[in-house]
Amino acid sequence: MKATPFSLLFIVFILNFMLGTFVEAHEPIFGIGPHTIHKYGIGLEAELEGHENNRELHSEVLYGITEDLSVTASLPYHLAEKESGLSSLFVRSKWRFFRDDGIGGSNQAAIAFGVRTPGFQTGPDSFGYLFAATIGREARREYFFSGLRYILNTTNKDGFKPGDLFKYDLAAGIRPVPAGYEAPDLVLLLELNGTYTQKPVVPVSTAHASPGSEDIESGNKLGVGPGLIFTYKNIMLKAGIDFIVVQESKRIPLGDEIEFVFALESHLSPFSYIYGK
Partner 1 sequence: MKRTKLASLAIITVIFFAALTQTSQAQLRQVELRVDGLACSFCAYGLEKKLKALKGVKSNLKIDLDSGVVTLFTRENPFVSFDRMLEAVRDGGFTPRKIKVVVAGDVTTPSVLKDDKEAMKVASKIQKTVKEQKLHLPKNQLVLKIEKLNQIFFLLKYPDKNEKYKKYQKSFEKLTSIDENQTVVVTGIMHIPKKKDRKVPMVLFVESFKKR
Residues at the site binding partner 1, with contacts judged by CB under 8 A: 20-26, 36, 38-41, 66-68, 96, 99, 101-106, 138-140, 175, 178-183, 185, 187, 231, 233-234, 236, 267, 269, 272-273, 275-277
How far, in Å, are 50, 114, 214, 219 from residue 251 at the CA level?
19, 28, 10, 9
- Looking at the Cβ atoms of 104 and 159, the one nearer to partner 1 is 104
Q: Which amino acid is at 240?
A: G
- Using CB atoms within 10 Å of the CB of residue 240, give its burial: 0 to 12 exposed, 13 to 18 middle, 19+ buried: buried
257: CB partners within 8 A, 6+ apart: 243, 244
- Looking at the Cβ atoms of 124 and 270, the one nearer to partner 1 is 270
Residue 59 Cβ vs partner 1, minimum distance, rounded to whole Å = 21
- Looking at the Cβ atoms of 36 and 198, the one nearer to partner 1 is 36
Residue 138 Cβ vs partner 1, minimum distance, rounded to whole Å = 5
Backbone angles phi, psi at 203, to 5 degrees: -70, 155
181: CB partners within 8 A, 6+ apart: none
Residue 98 Cβ vs partner 1, minimum distance, rounded to whole Å = 13
Question: SS3 for 39?
Answer: coil
- Looking at the Cβ atoms of 83 and 182, the one nearer to partner 1 is 182
Residue 217 Cβ vs partner 1, minimum distance, rounded to whole Å = 42
